């Protein structure tokens, strides 16, 4: 079933100078391809096809289709999916609604229920991994660890087996979609989709460990509104003399590069200022756009840390991985102690651009750090392995990954004890936008 092909559609969204044609009157999205002037379904398909043969990182490997074959695809998304099947390294390129892109990245607003679901119990139930504050889910009392066994009377397996039901309940949501959730504890809750603001920091706290003051926060989204959120958290940490940091990126699928750069600066301060943030490489046709980006911004609330603990899972992706890889560069002289499981494996980025009512985000660049290290297509492996126990809330010191980080601070090594297993193996259920950013 196409909705359950496991690919992590989580993007690194970056800004880039627009390309222009010779008379510079028409600003293009990128490269030599510009959006169709007439937005027919066929023109949208040809546009996507041309983009993927032009500025796509693997343009030389993009399959060729005849005009008739292009016209036979259901729509532009269907065509993109066919191209990606022929380029196995690409689990990430995607098309989304233009309004969703604008609302999310710029305004930090989403329409939906406000919780992040994953399949558990061999795909028969849905776990709620976290709930956004002040979202519809939060207002009806749903919380991390709740288990959904049915929606509107349909079992989760019935929903999975029907593309219509799957799209209705786990596809892109519109306002005022009212559904009845049945929980594992037999409780039934009505919830109605609505617009809600994205809080990029889901939790923060300061733990005292002897002479150590440990700042801990769960960072969820690299979007424009995150700048104020993370600066507020680091300001609190700075004012309270925090000298150790645990950054929880378990469900952070990435986002804007300038936020990643800001986060690196807040962690490293003077240690990283002026150093290389990343090196960016395009395909051969656009190699003249290859560049080096530097950490050129400083903040009064930077912690100037010599080490940082970062908690990850396979849902930690893109900009999350960029932060880890950047901090690891030798010139920064910062020890990165990663805890949890390997990240998703996306050393790539997108420029992206609008066309008609849509926004396309194809892989267009590859990233490496100041040492030239990258290519972590199998993910970045942790130093200390730990499971993600969804039955324990953020900040619970018994949660395996947080417990492992605090143990390391006390003992200078990973825990050697056997961590109790949790019989709830996660599998993604969302596609596209929801899968990318943990938004539902």
Say if residue 192 is in the same domain as residue 43: no
Say if residue 250 is in the same domain as residue 323: yes
Say if residue 317 is in the same domain as residue 337: yes
Say if residue 218 is in the same domain as residue 143: no
In a domain, 438, yes or no: no
Give the end of a domain, one of 103, 122, 154. 103
Give the end of a domain, one of 103, 121, 139. 103
Best-predicted range by mean pLDDT among 1-15, 389-403, 423-437?
A: 389-403
In a domain, 433, yes or no: no
Residue 20: per-residue pLDDT: 35
Indicate whether 405 pLDDT > 90.
yes
Say if residue 186 is in the same domain as residue 327: no
Say if residue 91 is in the same domain as residue 128: no
Here the CATH number for the domain that contains residue 126 is 2.30.42.10
E-assigned strands of 184-320? 188-192, 194-197, 201-209, 212-219, 244-248, 276-281, 291-294, 307-312
Tokens, residue 15: 């800004």
Here the CATH number for the domain that contains residue 342 is 3.90.226.10
Structure confidence by residue, pLDDT tens digits, 126-154 = 999 999 999 999 999 999 999 999 999 99
Structure confidence by residue, pLDDT tens digits, 180-234 = 999 999 999 999 999 998 899 999 999 998 889 999 999 999 988 899 999 999 9
Sign for the pseudo-dihedral over CA of 389, 392, 395, 397 = negative
Structure confidence by residue, pLDDT tens digits, 262-271 = 999 999 999 9
| Structural domain boundaries, residue 158 | 112-197
Kindly provide the b/e burial profile for residues 402-437, where b requires at least 16 CB atoms within 10 angstroms of the residue's own CB.
bbbbbbbbeeeebbeeeeeeeebebebbbbbbbbbb
Residue 306: per-residue pLDDT: 97
Kindly provide the b/e burial profile for residues 346-368, where b requires at least 16 CB atoms within 10 angstroms of the residue's own CB.
bbbbbbbbebbebbbbbbbbbbb
Say if residue 6 is in the same domain as residue 48: yes
In a domain, 424, yes or no: no
In a domain, 378, yes or no: yes
In a domain, 385, yes or no: yes
Give the end of a domain, one of 42, 70, 103. 103
What is the pTM (predicted TM-score) of this model? 0.87
In a domain, 231, yes or no: yes
Query: What average pLDDT is seen over the chain?
Result: 86
Residue 190: per-residue pLDDT: 97
Say if residue 137 is in the same domain as residue 282: no
Say if residue 121 is in the same domain as residue 173: yes
Domain count, the chain: 3
Residue 184: per-residue pLDDT: 93
In a domain, 291, yes or no: yes
Say if residue 97 is in the same domain as residue 178: no
Say if residue 311 is in the same domain as residue 397: yes
Residue 32: per-residue pLDDT: 80
How sure is the predictor about 25, in pLDDT bands with cuts at 50, 70 and 90?
A: very low
Structure confidence by residue, pLDDT tens digits, 286-332 = 999 999 999 998 899 999 999 999 999 998 999 999 999 999 999 99
In a domain, 422, yes or no: no
Tell me which residue has tokens 């600003």.
27
Nearest to 227 by CA among 205, 250, 254, 200: 200
Hey, which residues does 292 pair with through a beta bridge? Answer: 279
Nearest to 81 by CA among 91, 96, 71: 91
Say if residue 60 is in the same domain as residue 120: no
């Amino acid at each position: 079933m196409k909705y359950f092909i496991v690919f992590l559609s989580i993007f690194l969204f970056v800004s880039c100078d627009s390309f222009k044609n010779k008379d510079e009157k028409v600003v293009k999205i990128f490269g030599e391809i510009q959006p169709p002037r007439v937005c027919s379904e066929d023109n949208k398909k040809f546009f996507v096809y041309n983009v993927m043969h032009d500025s796509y990182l693997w343009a030389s490997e993009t399959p060729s289709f005849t005009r008739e074959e292009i016209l036979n695809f259901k729509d532009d998304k269907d065509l993109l999916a066919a191209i990606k099947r022929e380029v196995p390294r690409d689990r990430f390129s995607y098309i989304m609604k233009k309004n969703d892109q604008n609302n999310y990245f710029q305004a930090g607003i989403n329409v939906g229920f406000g919780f992040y679901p994953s399949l558990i119990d061999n795909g028969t139930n849905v776990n709620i991994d976290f709930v956004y504050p002040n979202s519809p889910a939060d207002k009806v009392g749903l919380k991390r660890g709740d288990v959904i066994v049915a929606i509107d009377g349909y079992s989760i397996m019935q929903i999975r087996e029907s593309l219509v039901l799957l799209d209705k309940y786990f596809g892109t949501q519109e306002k005022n979609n009212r559904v009845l959730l049945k929980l594992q504890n037999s409780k039934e809750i009505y919830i109605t989709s609505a617009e809600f603001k994205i809080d990029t920091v889901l939790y923060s706290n300061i733990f005292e460990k002897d002479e150590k003051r440990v700042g801990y926060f769960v960072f969820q989204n690299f979007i424009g509104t995150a700048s104020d959120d993370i600066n507020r958290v680091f300001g609190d940490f700075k004012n309270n003399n925090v000298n150790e940091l645990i950054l929880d990126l378990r469900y952070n699928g990435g986002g804007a590069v300038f936020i990643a750069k800001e986060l690196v600066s807040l962690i490293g301060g003077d240690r990283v200022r002026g150093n290389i943030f990343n090196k960016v490489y395009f395909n051969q046709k656009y190699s003249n756009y290859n560049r080096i980006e530097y950490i050129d911004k400083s903040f009064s609330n930077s912690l100037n840390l010599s080490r940082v603990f970062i908690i990850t899972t396979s849902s930690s992706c893109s900009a999350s991985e960029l932060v880890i890889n950047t901090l690891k560069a030798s010139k920064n002289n910062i020890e990165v102690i990663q805890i949890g499981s390997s990240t998703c494996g996306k050393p790539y980025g997108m420029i992206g651009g609008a066309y008609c009512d849509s926004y396309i985000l194809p892989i267009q660049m590859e990233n490496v750090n100041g040492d030239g290290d990258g290519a972590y297509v199998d993910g970045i492996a942790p130093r200390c392995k730990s499971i993600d126990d969804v039955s324990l809330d953020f900040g619970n010191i018994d949660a395996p990954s947080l417990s492992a980080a605090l143990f390391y601070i006390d003992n200078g090594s990973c825990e050697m004890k056997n961590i109790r297993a949790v019989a709830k193996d996660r599998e993604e259920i969302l596609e596209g936008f929801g899968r990318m950013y943990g938004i539902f």
